Amino acid sequence: MITVEHLTKRYGAQLAVSDVSFSCAPGTVTGFLGPNGAGKSTTLRAVCGLTLPTSGTTAVAGRPYRELPNAGRHVGVLLDAGAQHAGRTGRETLALAALVQGVARSRVDEVLQQVGLAGKPAGKRVGKYSLGMRQRLGLAMALLGEPQVLVLDEPANGLDPEGIFWMRGLLRGFADRGGTVLLSSHLLREVEAVADQLVVIAGGRIVAQGSSEELLASTGTLVRARDRAALTGALAAAGIGVTPGPADALIADGPAEAVGIAAATGGVPLLELRPAGGDRLEELFRSLTDPTAGAAAAADRQIQETSA
């Protein structure tokens, strides 16, 4: 179990995260998403005890990370795959960690096999590893102590398609055995394929969270016309909000029937009309983190406050 409650972190005058709260339950994979600079890394570092909150709390298994005895036996962490000593071999890196954590030496061979680094790769110096191999070694390090919780920042970075598919199965299997996974990644389709829960952060604040099924079911209707401006106007006249979609399409906040009727009423011929799907998480992500949409929402709030 991971809990983050009212987490706020300031670096001088800069507000990195503001009043962030969410939880990750055992048996689930939680996708933690947001654009660059949104506050993802700061939040993950706070969970792992590497960054002290300005206010608020984080806990793993009911305790702050820094208070966990032998933390590696409870939480497996991968925040930077390049942080390993370049002069040691993969096996030496894991053997040293096993000694520190009090893990049986046989566990080193188990995790090397699990992440696909057994044999010759285990004897290579980390400085000679590719980025994908370093990611696999980082995952091996996270799994070494047989933890109940994994906190992973961009674990698929550098992996080829086969490696990404392998990692998906690894994380899904870990959660299905009762483990807790908090996963930050820019590979939205992979997150969509494996995550049970989603937390989306933008500008240091949580803008959406809930089950994948609930959030992705509300992504609206994809609609496309030659005259995008006319389509936007017709939908606005019908009280249907829109956000930018893939290519020149729009994602309308309404069912397909209502969107079609609005376009017909406005005399706008449609080229495409269907439920938003396929790239559902990408569409949700863009609608929640698009700065243009955020500016429009802020303007609407200002107008409402002024009129009140």
**Rounded to the nearest 5°, which phi and psi values hold at 52?**
-85, 130
Question: 188 with 233, same domain?
Answer: no
Q: Which two tokens stand for residue 232?
A: 């936007």
Which residue range(s) make up the domain with 225?
219-307
Question: 262 with 277, same domain?
Answer: yes
Question: 244 with 115, same domain?
Answer: no
Question: 65 with 171, same domain?
Answer: yes
Question: 226 with 195, same domain?
Answer: no
Domain boundary residue, one of 191, 215, 239:
215
pLDDT of residue 277: 61
Domain boundary residue, one of 185, 215, 245:
215
pLDDT of residue 293: 45
Number of domains making up the chain: 2
Question: 202 with 270, same domain?
Answer: no
Question: 124 with 167, same domain?
Answer: yes
Residue 247: how many CA atoms within 13 Å on its side-chain side? 8
What is the DSSP code string of 46-75?
Answer: HHTTSS--SEEEEEETTB-GGGSTTGGGTE
pTM for this model (two decimals): 0.76
Question: 28 with 176, same domain?
Answer: yes
Nearby residues of 122 by Cβ (< 8 Å), 6 or more positions away? 89, 90, 91, 112
Parallel, antiparallel, or unpaired: how do β-strands 28-33 and 197-202 relate?
parallel
Q: What is the mean pLDDT of each run of 10 residues along the chain (308 residues)?
A: 96 95 97 92 95 96 93 94 91 96 95 95 95 94 96 91 92 96 89 91 92 76 93 95 87 90 96 76 75 43 39
pLDDT of residue 254: 86
Question: 126 with 261, same domain?
Answer: no
- Reported as a single tens digit per residue, the pLDDT across 177-222 is 999 999 998 888 888 889 999 999 999 999 989 998 888 766 678 8
Residue 154's CATH number: 3.40.50.300
Distances in Å between the Cα of 251 and the Cα atoms of 26, 179, 224, 297 are: 34, 36, 9, 16
Residue 148 CA to residue 170 CA, distance in Å, equals 14
Domain boundary residue, one of 215, 230, 251:
215
Parallel, antiparallel, or unpaired: how do β-strands 180-184 and 221-224 relate?
unpaired
Question: 211 with 224, same domain?
Answer: no
Question: 27 with 87, same domain?
Answer: yes
Question: 77 with 50, same domain?
Answer: yes
